[in-house]
Each structure stands twice: as C-alpha cells, then as structure tokens.
Amino acid sequence: MNIAVREAPTAQQLRVVDCDIHPVYRTPAELHPFMSARWREHMATFGTHFRHGLHGQLPYPRMMAAGMRMDAFPEDGPPGSDIELMRRQHLDANGVEFGMLIALSRGGMEERNLDFGAALSSAINDWQLECWVKKEPRLRAAIVVPQENADDAVREIEKRASDPAFVQVMISPRSSDPLGHRRYWPIYAAAERCGKPLALHVAGYSGGHPSTGSGWPTYYIQEHYAMSTGMQNTLASLVFEGVLERFPKLKVVMIEGGFAWLPALTWRMDKHWERMRAETPHLKRSPSEYVRERVWFTTQPIEEPENPEHLADIMEWIGWDRLMFSTDYPHWDFDDPRQVFKTRLTDEQKTKIFRDNAKALYGLQ
Amino acid sequence: MKVPLHDAIDCDLHPALPGVPALLPYLDEFWADQLANRHIDQLPFTLSSYPPSSPLSSRPDWRVASGAPAADLGAIRRNVLGRFGVGCAICNPLHGALALFNDDMAAALCSAVNDWMARELLDHEPRLRASILVPGQSPDLAVREIERVAPDRRFVQVLLLAMGETPLGRRAHWPIYAAAEKHQLTIGIHAGSTYRVAPTYSGWTSYRVEDYVAQSAAFETQLLSLVAEGVFQKFPRLKVVLIESGFTWLPTWLWRTSKTWRGVRAEVPWIDRSPAEIVREHVRFTLQPIDAPRAEPEILLRTLEHMGSDRLLLFSTDYPHWQFDADDVLPDGLPENTIGKILRDNPRDTYPRLGAAPALGESPGTGEKEAR
C-alpha cells in the first residue's frame, strides 16, 4: 500500500510463479505496428467506446498515484510499461520463475464497437508477444478476446492456439450478460479445444450494469469490494448455467477477486441448489463439486483476518491445490511474497501456492 | 436441538398477506376507487423474489391444501409459536407495493398493510410484533409512514429490501434512518429485489436459484454502502438487521473491508474505526438461512469464531420459507451460552421496542443475560 517495505534478507531465496502481472504500453503508438491503418485512424479519432459517462478514465478514480505503486513509475511512461524496471524491481527481486501477463488496457474486451474490439484484441495479443514474451522468457501471455463478439473471439483463440507463449484465454467477468449465458459458450468450446484455461480477471469497465444488485456505489472502496461480489455472481452463473457440466475439460482461473468468500458461496449454492434443483436439471452434480474440481483462484489481494490463523481454515476448505500466488504488480495493493502469508503454512503448502499449482495448471517447465 | 425452545424471539416471520380487497377498508376513498376501478384489486402484489409456489417460499408441510403457504394466524400459532416455543415473533410483510413505480400508490398500500397488520394480527395475538412497511423508493413518503405508525410500539422495525434502485447508504435514504433512530426503530433489510437493476454486475441471471444465491452478495454491498457513506457516524444509535441474508459470508466481509479501508481510508475520512468494529456494534443478522454444510457442524462453529462475536446472530425461523426441515431450526453443536444469546439476549439488545413486550421480561430466560 505504498509504504516502504523493509528489505528482506536475501539468504532465503524465493521462487514464485506470479499469476497476475500487468503490462501496459508507454503510449498507444506501441500498438500501431499491430493495427491496420483503418483502425489506427479510428483509435486516434474516436478512441475507445465504453459504457460509462467519462471518456478516457475510470469512473471511480483510484487512490494514491492512480492505483499504482509509487516506486513502479519508470522515468518515462506509466508503471508496467518498462520491461527493464519490471525485471529489476519485480521479476529478479522477487524470484519470479514465471509471470502471467494480464493485459488489461485497451484489450477490446469491453469495446462497444465490435469490429474495433476484435482489432484491438488482436493487436494487444501481438504486442504481448513481440514486446514482452519474446524479450523476457519468464513471461507468458493470455489470449485477449472481444468477449461480446463470440465469432471473432473464437477466431482470435484459434489464431493463437498452438503458440506456447499464450497459456490461457482471458475475458472480462464484467460482461454484458452473466458469463454462463449461451452467447459465450463458443468461447468456452474454443478454450477447451486448445486446452487453455479461462482466465477471469476483475475489471474496471462495466458491461453495462451497475456494480451492485442495487445500483451504483459512491466510493472507490465500494467499487473495489464489488470486484469480489461480482466474481461470486460470475462463478454462480458458470455453475448454474451448466458451463462446467457442458465443457468437462474447461478450467477456470479467477484472478484478483479474492478467495476467502469461496467456501461460504459454495455452501450457499449447494444448500439452495438442493432445495430448487428441479429448476436446473442440467446440473448432474452439486455446485461445490464442479468448483472444487475445475476452478482455481489467485491470492492477491489476500484477505487479512484479525487472527491470521483463520485464513488457514479457509485455505483448507478450498483446497491447497487450488490457490495460486499473485502480486498484481505494479498496482497499489501489490502482495509481497515475503509478507503475504501471515498465517503459518507448511513448506509443502507454500510450495504449492507459490509455484507448483500454477506450474501444473499451465504446464510450465 | 430439542424444541420447543424457551421464550425464543423469532426475528423473521412472514404472515400471509391479504389481497387488495381486504385492504380496501384501510384505504382512503381515492385509492379505494382507483384500485377497484382499475381492477388493481385483482392483482396479486407478489414480489418476484418469492413466487408462492417456489420451494423457497414455503416448506411443503407448511402449505395448505391449495398449495399456498400456510401463514394465517392459526398456522402461525400452530407451526411457529407453539411448535418452537416462540415468546415473541416479528412479522415482516413482503408486499409487492415495494416494487411499484407509482410512489403514491405504493405509500397508500404500505399504509393499508400496516393498519391491517395492527388490526388483524397484532390485536389478536400478543406474541406478535411487526416491521413497518414503507415505500423505500420514496424517502419522504417513507418518513411520513414511519411517523404515522411509530406511536404503536408493537412496530419495532422499518422494513427495506436488499436490492432496490440505489445503494441504501446514499444520502437520499438518510431521512428514513433519522426517523428510525428518533423512534427507537431498528432498520431491517430483508432479502428480495425490486429488480430496478440487474441482480448481478454482469446482468440478468437465468435461474431463480441464482437470484437467491445473489442475495448474499447484494447484502455485502449494501452493508459496505451503509458503512462507507458514514450512516453509523451520522446516526450513532441506529441498529441495522440483515434479514434472511445468510451470515457465513460475514467473516470475509470483515477481513476484506477492514484491510481495504486501511489502504483507502483517506477517501472516507469520516470512518473513524475499522468497518469490522462498526459492524459488530451496529449490525445484526437473522439466523436463517444457515449457509453451511449441515453434515459438518464443526465448519459452522469455526465460521462463528471467524465472526469474532457471539452477539451478532438473532434467532429466526423465516417461516414459512423453506430453510430447514423438521425441527432443525438451530444448528447442531452450539454452546448453551451462545444459544441463549441467539434466542433471547441478542434480539433484546437489538430491538429497544421489544422491552415493552408484555410477554417478555417476566420469563426466567431473562436471568441469563450476560455482562458485555
């Protein structure tokens, strides 16, 4: 939280897989080599077209330094735009063996102009490849797709399917319809076909609905929380619509939405599903069974109980093989691998969460 | 747990509500005419959140032959008051007036329901108390109704729905909280939506079970709205009860909000303590539904420990909604001391107006009230 952290002793060598790193471009011109003249002009003239009242900014202004770590600003450009600084400050310093890129900016996921969205997605994928993964072998990309346009999304997935630089398919959980809806199923079929997990990272731009079931909140502290309730809604939609039943090899990663809520949500889903199961006969198993088998969670921003041991209960209930460490570099609420777990974990538990679970899921070696 | 319990206070009971024709005597001439001439008196005014034939809306053995939930006074006495040993029960009328767009019609129907409640239920059964039904979408009319009904101290709470048009902490709602605080009325927020906006942040769900599951997320965001906007700083004596909200989500709420608040507190400088402290002082939760695996009671006990206080839960049957079977209204394995708090002490601490209840205060149960 932008507080200077004591330098940790270097003797204890860290090795982690960071499942949430945010690369950004220094200027939009970085995308130009990957776009046609038609879309370069469109971007310059009309820009992105989102479902919010403010152009070119998030509707809930972030706190300190636009939601960034103050020490993550390079001399020139925004945090996350300088690969040298990222290496020095994060990959090297924190023992990152592999880093999962989550490219949030102008990915086309939320773009209302569907053709522009498809062009942006493709450009951002080329850019991830050329400007990041090819330069830094520790990094892996996610295939960004224009989710509201399943045809183009599937085309984009197929285009990248055989490239090992891309280890997952990313769409925004803050979609125009809940992600279980059928209009998104072709995306899941394509992800399943190419054996890449579906990555759902929380997002600032909406798909056109208020961030709570009772309208728009007032403050950023509320908007930040709505990322967690929104993830719960998204998971429930995937479960109850039968996505996990229909696509039996599909794996889902929920990123930056918290995880401590999961046990209570699965208890609630199970209880009320049992009561009302005649409504969803397409479910062959209880909601918790689907979740336990097919859904992974990243750890940042980690929930911090007053008594740290309480978090160990939650992790135990979720399963030690389903949590994957993440930092959210270079964002303000970065979790430092040296400080993140205030509860006592065994070496085996730590190894799983810090790297083995992610390596197994993504097939990293 | 053996029933009947002893002098339990049931903080969530749903009596069957009358059709519009039975409300006509409680409506003025204009509205009586309007409702009859427009055939509005033939409309059911059932909230979409609780369709009568849904398994959620009534336990099978709590239905009458026609299939409707059995919740007239006789059924309430038989199935709840007598069966569970309830000394006092708070009636929460989930009436469709809350979802109307016409504020004046909503207000007229709310008034009629409140008067009907007083005359047809409370006058006949001294163990019953009630929440005031108000048109929450129109705070000025809601306040007028609170002022009108408040002198009748059998009304102990103001009822709002978990999902409406805007988050409940927004300042537009504050006159309701001012009136409630002034009259020692608790604010009760009950599960349910007026569906002014989609129930989730990514839109409209397909299934009713999803909507019901999503209620707990809505409660989470409403709770944070009340806290973040400073409602409890502005109204320091206000108590809020989340009704039929579930509560096993609460530990994560406490952990996450209190952590985030440390990072972003400059945005909400009036929040002078952690959200966890504020909630433990001002907010309570009804017992049903208990969203935890019944077969593993130790999980619920761990979760109660995570909540960090045994003063937060208030006994409820949620009658006739189907939340438990047979007599399993209390979870297994609770310490005796905790049970006493849930059944009696916590409700009494939460509802100042229950002190006036004649059925209370004389029972042996009051002796075990603990020092805080």
Q: Do the Cβ atoms of B221 and A212 come within 8 Å? A: yes
- Partners of residue B207 in chain A, C-beta under 8 Å: 240-241, 279-280
Please say whether the beta carbons of B187 and B240 come within 8 A. yes
- Partners of residue A229 in chain B, C-beta under 8 Å: 201, 217-218, 220-221
- Confidence band of A2 (pLDDT split at 50, 70, 90): low
Superfamily of segment(s) B8-350: Metal-dependent hydrolases (3.20.20.140)
DSSP H or E run through B247: none
Q: Let me know the angle formed at the C-alpha of B207 by B205 and B209, rounded to the nearest 5 degrees.
A: 110
- Partners of residue B322 in chain A, C-beta under 8 Å: 275
Structure tokens at A63: 């706190």
Average pLDDT, chain A: 94
Testing the interface with B: which of A267, A288, A302 to mutate, by most B Cβ within 10 A?
A: A267
The distance of A272 to chain B (nearest Cα, Å) reads 7
Read off the pLDDT of residues A67-122 as tens digits, 9 standing for 90 and up.
999 999 999 999 999 999 999 999 999 999 999 999 987 668 889 999 999 999 99
Domain range summary for chain A, segments of one domain joined by + = 16-362
- Confidence band of A51 (pLDDT split at 50, 70, 90): very high
Cis peptide leading into B320, omega within 30 of 0? yes
Q: Do the Cβ atoms of A63 and B266 come within 8 Å? A: yes
Structure tokens at B76: 């309430």
Q: Please give the share of chain A, as a percent, with pLDDT higher than 90.
A: 90
- Partners of residue B252 in chain A, C-beta under 8 Å: 228, 258, 260-261, 264, 303, 314
In this prediction the pTM is 0.95
C-alpha–C-alpha distance, residues A308 and A340, integer Å: 11
The beta-carbon neighbor of A213 closest among B214, B255, B299 is: B214
The pLDDT assigned to A64 comes to 82
Measured in whole angstroms, the distance separating CA A189 from the mean position of its chain's CA atoms is 20
Fold of A16-362: TIM Barrel (3.20.20)
With an 8 Å Cβ cutoff, is A267 touching chain B? yes
Q: Do the Cβ atoms of A222 and B228 come within 8 Å? A: yes
The pLDDT assigned to B154 comes to 98
Q: Do the Cβ atoms of B255 and A304 come within 8 Å? A: yes
Task: Provide the sign of the torsion angle of the four alpha carbons A309, A311, A312, A316, taken in this order.
Answer: positive
pLDDT higher than 90, residue A6? no
Return the half-sphere exposure (C-beta side, CA atoms, 13 A cut-off) of residue B372. Answer: 8
Strands A295-298 and A252-255 turn out to be parallel
CA nearest to B263, candidates A89, A90, A334: A334
C-alpha–C-alpha distance, residues A271 and B323, integer Å: 9
- Confidence band of A7 (pLDDT split at 50, 70, 90): low
Please say whether the beta carbons of B336 and B307 come within 8 A. no
The beta-carbon neighbor of A217 closest among B221, B251, B261 is: B221
Structure tokens at A364: 């990293």
- Partners of residue B229 in chain A, C-beta under 8 Å: 218-219
* Local mean pLDDT, 10-residue blocks, chain B (372 residues): 90 97 98 97 97 95 94 97 97 98 98 98 98 97 98 98 97 98 98 97 98 98 98 98 98 98 96 97 98 96 98 98 97 94 98 70 36 32
- Partners of residue A240 in chain B, C-beta under 8 Å: 205-207, 209-210, 213
C-alpha–C-alpha distance, residues B193 and B170, integer Å: 17
Residue position matching structure tokens 């009051």: B366
